[in-house]
Chains A and B, each alone.
Chain A
Amino acid sequence: MSQMLHHGRGRVSILLAVFFLLASACHKSPARLAYDSIDGATTAVQASLKAFNILYQQGIADEADRTKARAAYETFQKVAVAASYVAEAATTPDERAAAIRKTSEAAVAAISTLDDLSAEVKARPPTGGAK
């Protein structure tokens, strides 16, 4: 009987622990949401840039393409860094929402430019490999 009680108690403990982990994952504050959004946008833009880098290192993309990629990335960087300062100093969810929106728009613009650039580069006729 005591073993059964002990077993049941262990189960309750595990359930409580799982509940807590779920609750902690679900109650993201506006600050955490802003942080995760800016972090995710940065990861996505840098992933697009890494994809472009493969084309560049293979000699498929040229220096003019690299200059365009740099411009797209650096524009995003300026917005994301500014948004991180706004989100950190913000005292209301509205201010943080604005920072998230600006970062998202900048990330969409940068990823779109980088993806278009990569597609354009891939569609070009081969020029004979790396320079």
Chain B
Amino acid sequence: MTTDPKPRLDAGTILTLIVEVGLPLASDLIDLFYRAGSVSADDWTALRAKTRTPFDDLVPARPGGES
């Protein structure tokens, strides 16, 4: 049984990034790097809401069509 790999950035990469692109952009990119691999509880909830879209919303009954 294997466990989930956790991608990490080493300190050297983070420092190089801060020096090269500046702290604000580096911060955004690092945040993006870590968020790309994770799924929050809100994401799962939103996915279930999408999956639970009622059939009648996607195929509404025609007027006088449903018996």
Residues of chain A at the chain B interface (Cβ within 8 Å) = 9, 12-13, 16-17, 20-21, 23-25, 27-32, 34-35, 38-39, 42, 46, 49-50, 52-53, 56-57, 59, 63, 66, 69-70, 73-74, 77, 80-81, 84-85, 87-88, 91-94, 130-131
Residue in chain B with minimal CB distance to A49: B58
In the complex, given contacts A16-B20, A16-B21, what are 14 additional A-B residue pairs having Cβ atoms less than 8 angstroms apart? A16-B17, A24-B35, A27-B33, A28-B36, A29-B5, A30-B4, A38-B47, A39-B50, A42-B50, A49-B55, A53-B58, A57-B60, A73-B55, A94-B1
11 interchain pairs, CB-CB under 8 A: A24-B29, A27-B37, A32-B36, A32-B37, A42-B50, A50-B58, A53-B59, A63-B66, A66-B61, A88-B44, A93-B2
A34 to B39, alpha carbons, bound, how many Å? Answer: 10
| Closest beta carbon of chain B to A115's beta carbon, Å | 15
Question: Which of these, B1, B6, B55, contacts A74 with CB under 8 Å?
Answer: B55
Is B32 touching A20 in the complex (CB atoms < 8 A)? yes
A56 to B21, alpha carbons, bound, how many Å? Answer: 55
Is B58 touching A73 in the complex (CB atoms < 8 A)? yes
Is A32 touching B39 in the complex (CB atoms < 8 A)? yes
A77 to B59, alpha carbons, bound, how many Å? Answer: 15
Residues of A within 8 A of B38 (CB): 29, 31-32
Is A77 touching B51 in the complex (CB atoms < 8 A)? yes
A114 to B43, alpha carbons, bound, how many Å? Answer: 28
A53 to B20, alpha carbons, bound, how many Å? Answer: 53
Residues of A within 8 A of B47 (CB): 35, 38-39, 42, 84
